[in-house]
A and B are shown apart, each in its own frame.
Chain A
Amino acid sequence: MFSKKKSVLLFLLPGLCMLMVFYIVPFVSGIGYSLTDGSYKNAFVGLQNYRDLWQNQMFLLGLKNTMELSLICAPLLWVTSFVMAAGLMSVKPFGEFFRGTALMPYLAPSSAMLLVWLVLFDFGGPINRVLVALGMERVMWLESAALRVPIVLMFLWKNLGFCLIIFLSALQAIPEPLYEYARLEGAGFLRQTFGITLPLITPSAFLVFVMAWINAFKIFKEVYFIAGAYPDYSVYTLQNYMNNMYSKLNYQLVTTAAYSFGLIVFAIFAVLFFLQRRAAHGLN
């Protein structure tokens, strides 16, 4: 048994070393970095960076926008991908085609997709032409607070396929006889969904929710590509702040912001995991 453990450790060693070198060590040394003053002398200043950061209006604005965008995008993505997956389950002809097509945006390079979005939402683009045809005013989608709409739509378009695939495989794993029994017992569509479908796909649903939220937190490059380092106040994200601090050589505030945000994300997912375990326990 001891030699079996030893061989397991040996197999794990390269991966553990990489983890140590590229994650653990930088993570720990980054904490130390966030406690220095950021000049080339690197004097220790304790928690001053954290105090300065949490009093900075732009950091707070970026954090607020990041949270708002994630609260809009993650649930929207979850619901949309679930509904589409449920719909695709009942589409027998061309089902494979739609499944494959839905994954394409996830594989396409972001910069290529952004060019398409820039054309669509341009002031003279097709979206505004449709609005004008419907008797409405043109909207400056790319230069105002309305930029949130194309950003959210782009997020959905890019991530929908992957979440769809996860939901589809989870739905396909539910035994068909359960639904037959439910129908025989007189359960309608909603009762079947909340009584059978959702409880049985809880682990996958939770996975989709977590991934959606993590991806929503990472919304930045689309905003930067369209609106630059200083976009409209409503789409100025935490990563905009961190990016600008980096270009000003203020690496200390970058790491301070990253760790602060990391703590918040950790707290959020700790709550989510707790809720998920409670839900799973309840279902059992």
Chain B
Amino acid sequence: MKKWLALALCLLLLTLSVGALAAGNVTIALQGENGFNDYIDTMFVWDGRLLMASYSNMYTWKPGDTGLTTVKGYEELNQAFSDCITADEDGTRTFALGDVEFELDENQYASMNTTLIPMGDKLYRMANISGENGTTNVLFVEILIAEDGTPSLGGCIDMGDQLTEDYGDGYTGTRSLMNVCAYNSKVYARSYGDSGYPELLEIDLENAEVNELTLDIESDVQSMSTFADGKLLLVATDYSVDPMVTSLLLYDIESEEITDLGQLPSDGWTAPAALTYDEARGMLYYVLSGSVWRLPVSETGLGEPEEFSDMPLEIYSDSAAVILDNLYILSAYNGVVGRDVTIEKLPEQQLHIDNIGYVETIRNAYFDFTDAHPEFVVSISNGGSSNLIQDMMNRSSEVDIYTLNVEDSAFSALMNRGFLAELGGSQVLSDGVNAMYDFLKAVVMKDGELYAVPLDMYANSMSMNRTLIVDKMGYEKLPDNWVDLFAMLADMASTGKLQDFPEVTFFGPGYTELDVKSNMFMDMMNSYYLWLDQGEENLMRSSEVLMQLCQAFEAIDWSAFGLPTDYDYEGSWEYKEENILFSQDSISPQYYYNEALETVPMAVIPGEKPFIGARVTVAFVNPFSTQREAAIAYLEAAFGKLSAGQRITMMPGENEPVLSPYYEENLKYYDDSIAEYEKQLADENLDEETRDMLTLSLEDMKKWRAEYEEEGRWDISEKDIERYRQYGDFMAATRSSLWGGDGDTYSQIYQYLDGAITAQQLAAELEKTLQMQRLEGM
């Protein structure tokens, strides 16, 4: 008796513990964490597990697993598919797989797509046969899974060109399929056709037919999910009204009739996405405003939507979502997470973040924060700064953290009026900001107090071709201010120097005279506004300086450069980087530099200090937030998530080079390719032409490997950091956007460029606006 009781108790405890393991939210995979650096493209429930696939890898997961299980042999399928093309003795190339066989021309090749589609107990993967003019055939290849889990290629269904789309100029591509689902051996998906509008496709794999189903609605279908009994749920948005209206429609596949079930909530111009319907629970699950919602749905109508969890991933209308046991699982480009659908309601403690500035570290911080504070849910949405102004006016505590670009006029209003919570109590944030460049500290600190945290920054500067300008054209030096630059251009025009270099272009091929003129003037105006931002004393001289710049600009005879006045769509777009005279380039330790061009920080006029404008995005805490401490803790987590590259960009003391995470993987690719070529060359039956071609390819591959081994090790090398540090002292935060306010500045500048107003009138207009702002008390 006692034995049976003990056994029963054990079984009970086991069941409870399994239940405990299954319940609760889970992070299944996260980009950059635990060695996961892949992009999940397809996800669905297969045989009681979650099956996910990228181009090269397949993963499985089931509740209770601590991580993803990689399916061995999936990557090899790509090569196996390419190997379905064989050539016979007289050079005829044939593709053969299962019952499908056809001849190919010399330019055609076979490649697999990332899209995996479950159909009952079969699994299919989309593939293409492509040639000179793009995709010619779309195939559905059956993937067989052996007892030990190893995948292999099975049969093949040729859809011909039914799933291709015309890109124009005779080039075709494969239509991408979104929200793919299967019913009764047919595949249903949304897809953009030649019309440019989303269509609803029915793909009959048995008969290799594609049909476009009739969608008799005015609105755009944003998302789709299976329902029950051969019906689909569609989310359709009518953008022609303000505010937009989002409806949930029931689509009967057989009769092609639509029933409007009711209106769905939306957030601004964002409709619910990542839909999935759980037939057993009668609930539709979706993501909106950074949260997961559930909505009772029946054929007669909708219930009340209920927010029950947060969603840290950034989603798009074609993000995939499934239900597995008690989890709503969603995959997006940055990871895969599961949310427990049995949670009755949202936890009391919620943190709301309005990520107006689209800062990635804010999203990345979610997991660290929620791990440390499991009692919180965090909703991250992307609103607009007009909401921010309204929130402050209403003294709303709804949003706890905002991110904002410093150029946005709302930020200076907030700083001036004190509508930001003090962050000085956080040692992490104080130390972090103190380690940043002085110009960044000046943006976020006032009267010695810290009010915001810079989380992203990028700078742009004028670059010039020293070899062309100094060495070949004979100018003494590169101009370091706009007046001298315009004087040099005026000299180039009057002396006809450019005619000796017909292959040289100003910014690149295809720029017309007006493009070059307006680009130069706009770049100069950006520098002018950056200079104005630097102090009150500059505002006093604004008009005089602008007149000097305009006079120098007007001295240039643009017509003498021989630039085209109209766009030449038939012309060649080929160019060499060493033939480009000027560019506006990003100044960053991470990004590619055009080696032929040299960054030149530009002053407005001779004798003034040159500046390089930096666009800064900051995060701050709402002073009316009722969860200030938690919000500050979140910012600390976000600060901790700054990438090595961002730290180097913003902090002059961070100078450790950054290794490339893909270095070993890429070297392996080169080594594998070299081994493959050597293997093919070992074949004594090769003809001369093929042997020469392979030998050339092998030499190229070895050369590229050597180059990569030398240069590819570092994402950010010592040399990159050293080059970037030269410009640190010139950087200044861009505070006023040229296009900001009511857009008058923009239209006035174009009136000047069109000759409708003179330089004096332009200067007077801009001066007037600045004066009025100053007198109002900016």
Contact = CB atoms under 8 A, between A and B. Distances in A.
Q: Tell whether A pairs with B.
A: yes
Interface of A: 38-41, 56-58, 123, 143, 227-230, 232-233, 236, 241, 244-245, 247-251
Nearest to A253: B777
Interface string B370-393: 000000000000000000010011
Contact of B419 (A57, A123, A245, A249): A249
Given A58-B775, A230-B773, 19 more contacts: A39-B418, A40-B395, A40-B623, A40-B624, A56-B775, A227-B744, A228-B742, A228-B743, A229-B744, A230-B744, A230-B769, A233-B768, A241-B776, A248-B413, A249-B393, A249-B416, A249-B419, A250-B413, A251-B393
Interface string B400-417: 000000000100011011
A245 B414 contact: no
Nearest to B773: A230
A230 B417 CA distance: 21
Contacts of B217: none
A251 B414 CA distance: 12
B20 interface: no
B5 interface: no
Interface in B613-671: 623-624
Contact of A228 (B418, B624, B741, B775): B741
Interface in B248-299: none
Contacts of A39: 417-419
A228 B744 contact: yes
Interface string B749-778: 000000010000000010011001101111
Contacts of A38: 417
B776 A245 contact: yes
B406 to A, nearest CB: 16
B776 A56 contact: yes
Nearest to B409: A247
A95 to B, nearest CB: 41
B768 A248 contact: no
A261 B741 CA distance: 26
Contacts of B775: 56-58
Give the one of B414, B417, B768, B772 with max A CB within 10 A. B772
Nearest to A40: B623
Interface of B: 389, 392-393, 395, 409, 413-414, 416-419, 623-624, 741-744, 756, 765, 768-769, 772-773, 775-778
Contacts of B768: 230, 232-233
The list of the 7 closest CB pairs from A to B, nearest first, reads: A39-B418, A228-B742, A249-B413, A40-B623, A228-B744, A230-B769, A249-B417
Nearest to B772: A230
Nearest to B421: A40
A257 B778 CA distance: 17
Given A56-B776, A57-B775, A249-B414, A123 B756 contact: yes
A247 B413 contact: yes
B412 to A, nearest CB: 8
Contacts of A40: 392, 395, 417-419, 623-624
Nearest to B770: A230
25 contacts: A39-B419, A40-B392, A40-B395, A40-B419, A40-B623, A56-B776, A57-B775, A58-B772, A227-B744, A228-B741, A228-B743, A229-B741, A230-B744, A230-B772, A230-B773, A232-B768, A233-B768, A233-B772, A244-B773, A249-B392, A249-B416, A249-B419, A250-B417, A250-B777, A251-B393
B399 to A, nearest CB: 14
Contacts of B769: 230
Nearest to B412: A248
B323 to A, nearest CB: 44
Contact of B776 (A41, A244, A251): A244
A221 B691 CA distance: 78
Contacts of B395: 40
B447 to A, nearest CB: 12
B777 A56 contact: yes
A229 B414 contact: no
B529 to A, nearest CB: 15
A227 B765 CA distance: 11
Contacts of B393: 249, 251
B543 to A, nearest CB: 15
Nearest to B416: A248
A236 to B, nearest CB: 7
Contacts of A247: 389, 409, 413
B410 to A, nearest CB: 8
A232 B769 CA distance: 9
A236 B772 contact: yes
Given A40-B395, A40-B623, A248-B413, A58 B776 contact: yes
Contacts of A245: 776
Contacts of A241: 776
A217 B143 CA distance: 76
A236 B771 CA distance: 13
B597 to A, nearest CB: 38
A245 B773 CA distance: 10
B247 to A, nearest CB: 29
A157 to B, nearest CB: 25
Nearest to B417: A249
Which one of A40, A41, A58, A233 has the greatest number of beta carbons of chain B within 10 Å?
A: A40
Contacts of B756: 123
A248 B773 CA distance: 11
Contacts of B419: 39-40, 249
A40 B391 CA distance: 12
A276 B409 CA distance: 48
Contacts of A229: 741-742, 744
Most buried by B among A57, A229, A230, A245: A230
Given A40-B623, A56-B777, A229-B742, A248 B417 contact: yes
Contacts of A123: 756
Q: Could you say which of A143, A245, A248 has the most chain B C-beta atoms within 10 Å of its C-beta?
A: A248
Nearest to B778: A248
Contacts of B417: 38-40, 248-250
Contacts of A236: 772
Contacts of A227: 744
A57 B775 CA distance: 6
A251 to B, nearest CB: 6
A228 to B, nearest CB: 4
A41 B418 contact: yes
A227 B743 CA distance: 10
B465 to A, nearest CB: 40
Contacts of A56: 775-777
